Each structure stands twice: as structure tokens, then as C-alpha cells.
Amino acid sequence: MKVEAFAPAKINLTLHVTGQRADGYHLLDSLVVFADVGDGLQFMPGPELSISVTGEHAAGVPTDNRNLVWKAAEAAGWTGHIDLNKVLPHGGGIGGGSSDAAATLRMSANQGSGVSQGMALSLGADVPVCMAASATRMRGIGERLDPTPLPQLPALLVNPGVAVPTGSVFSALESRDNPPMPDDIPAFEAPEACAAWLQDQRNDLEPPTTSLAPDVARVLSNLFSTKEVLLARMSGSGSTCFALYPTMKAAHFAAYEIGAAHPEWWCCATQLN
């Protein structure tokens, strides 16, 4: 019997790099939310594992054991055919592959497979938070997760279509020992209050990414110039950037404005939570 799953885009509202372990893993303090746009997966049980990839961003996505969906299915002991509809640009800092893997683990858990946080973490630092798929403070190497209620945040996501290797970004990072977020995250009643607090936080990977990929800086400049924008920042290690707005109407207007000026960019108005 076919099962469907949704893999929402993951957005790092903040990403503080707070240290590096002896084994090379970076320590993070990040406020993570999820969009109402994402990839779609269909699972059909069978004797052998196989994957097909369709959708706007299917090009370049592997259909073998290099794919995180394949790795997640193998780890959970699930076999059959998986159809992955790639709505999200891959390698864009919005957790496309991690969210796909998390959706696969959630499906397997619902089918009775034993799925642990350790299994999720072994697939990537973002996979455990993507299994939660709701506003969360993520710390350590991705294993410390604290649910953090936030208001619905109208937003615009923009990706300029350039790939920025995560390893290159971390190599260009000047400091790996930066201050974390405050111990307590306030309760926000509206997007404006949340955005005002976020102004004092950071994405420590934004400066090295913009130095490596000037197109990311161009996206941020365009987002900052939109009407009613509350905040513009890069997500993850890029190259997707986001902007927050007081209303979805303002987010849709900004999407139209940027999409008309840059039809080659991926633009999506969405709601984050």
C-alpha cells in the first residue's frame, strides 16, 4: 500500500558556530523553523530498494545509495520503491536532503521500524531536527533539541541557483568559537517582535558564504530592498536566503517583485513555524 510523506524546507533563523570538537564536528546553536513548502515522497513497499526522482529540481539528485533517502531507508530496514518529487533546490542550506531522509525515517517508524535519534544523527546533523519538523532550538552537533514555540512567520525564500559546498564555507570561517544565543528565547506574539529579537542574533556562516558566492550577497541586497521587510538573512550554509514580513500579503508582493526582476532565481513565499 502506497504511503505519502511531506519533507518541509528547514530554515535556520539563526546559526551560531560556538566551537569545534576534537573529531572535527562543529558545535552549533541554531533556531530552526520549517516552511509550508517542501519535497513530496511516495513509498511503495517491495522486495528491493529503488528510487526515482522527479520535479523541478530533480537534475543531479542521485538515485542510488548516495541519496540520503536511500541511506535512511536502509538504516530503518525498509525496502520498496520511493518516488521523490524535488520541489526544493538541493544543496541550498534549507535541509532538502536531510528533510527527505527524516520523512523516510518517520514513515518507517510509523510502519513499526525502530528509529532512534542516533540513527538520525548518523545520517547528518540536520536530520534529527528535521524529524521534529517544528520550531526547535538545536545545539551541540545537532543532538540537543528543545521545542521553541514561535508565531507564524510570513517569509520569502530566494535561491540564486549557485551551489556553495559546506566544507568550503566552514574552511573560510574565521572564528569557530563564537557566543551562543541567550539562554532564554522570549515568547513572541507577532512576527515583528520575533524579527526584532533576531536582529541581534547571527548566522556565522553568512560572511564566508557571501565572500565565496557574491550571488548570495546580491540576493540579500534585493531582499533588504523589498517593502515591509523585517529581516533578511541566509539559511544554513547557503545559498538560500530568507526574509521575514509582517503579513503573507507583503511576502507575496516581495516574491512578485524579486521574481520579475530575477526570473532565474527560485522564489517562494511561505509561512514558517
- Catalytic residues, which ones? 10, 126
Cis ω before 237 (30° cut-off from 0)? no
Provide the pairing of β-strand 136-140 with 3-12: unpaired
List the alpha helices (DSSP H) in 45-139: 68-76, 96-110, 117-123, 127-132
Cβ proximity of 68 and 100 under 8 Å: yes
Cβ proximity of 7 and 51 under 8 Å: no
Measured CA to CA, the distance from residue 17 to residue 140 in angstroms comes to 10
Q: Which of 27, 1, 52 is nearest to 175 (CA)?
A: 27
